[in-house]
Amino acid sequence: MTFNKFSITVKGKSYEFRRPQVMGILNVTPDSFYSGSRMATDEAMIAARVSQMIDDGVDIIDIGAYSTRQNADDVAPEEEYRRLSVGLDAIRSIAGDILVSVDTFRAEIAERCVKNYGVQIINDVSGGTLDAAMFDTVARLEVPYILMHMRGTPATMQSLTEYTDVTDDVIADLTAKADALRNRGVKDIIIDPGFGFSKTVDQNYEMMARLDEFKKMGLPLLVGISRKSMIFRTLGTDAQHSLNGTTVLNTVSLMGGAHILRVHDVKECVETVKIMGKMLGYEY
């Protein structure tokens, strides 16, 4: 059991990673499912959150301005970009050249963030299904793309959980979309199985138990299970009390071959990555 190093290229600049990367979540929204991550657009709160993540050892900051929890309010494109601008201004003023991904399913927003703020990665929870222009836009921008599996929309996804075999079906869907991206010239694709999106609790755990099967795609693997309902429903608690469960599943994810862990709690995840390095053969 070892860690397989990986690399991404942004506008001709190569980044090589010899250990798993910790991606910290920065939600500039008032309604994310985990209240501890809601920053809205209070500049002081955002700056403090960014500074804390840097101090805790974050590798990548993932900023989002559109909550994808069930029944979340719709956010107009201009409002989404306004929120992102406040957060990106804070990141760039505090963290300099740190890798930043923008969590958006809108091609227009992705393009503006890359061109105006030098964002290096696009993280699309819809896997290109909510904006037909996304794949072509990412190809033109020449930035890595996080391809996540989801069916429907955040409002309908939990009614779309019928699979023949959830792991095989998700891999097949991601493979087809990765091929479509490659055909457009996208060179750097990171896959995300989409835990919690159009999957039942049991289906989430089935995928987690078979996570190493995603290696067959030959692409970097991102896992985002931080404080999700697959944890707190199993434990009979809530998102606020799901840090321990998150750490358990982050550990399982690393053993299953995860390259990037997307988390709310950076310090605890960094500690997990450091400890697992003793087993997986990398140095932190």
Catalytic residues: 228, 262
User: What would the two tokens of residue 239 be?
Assistant: 């998102």
Strands (E), the chain: 6-10, 13-17, 21-27, 60-64, 99-103, 121-124, 145-148, 189-192, 222-223, 260-263
Question: Sheet harboring 260-263: ordered strands across?
Answer: 189-192, 145-148, 121-124, 99-103, 60-64, 21-27, 260-263, 222-223
Residue 33 CA to residue 189 CA, distance in Å, equals 27
Report the 10 Å Cβ neighbour count for 282: 18
Residue 47 CA to residue 89 CA, distance in Å, equals 9
Strands (E), 199-242: 222-223
Nearest to 122 by CA among 99, 98, 138: 138
Contacts of 89 (CB under 8 A, 6+ apart): none
Contacts of 283 (CB under 8 A, 6+ apart): 18, 19, 277
Nearest to 138 by CA among 84, 178, 96: 178
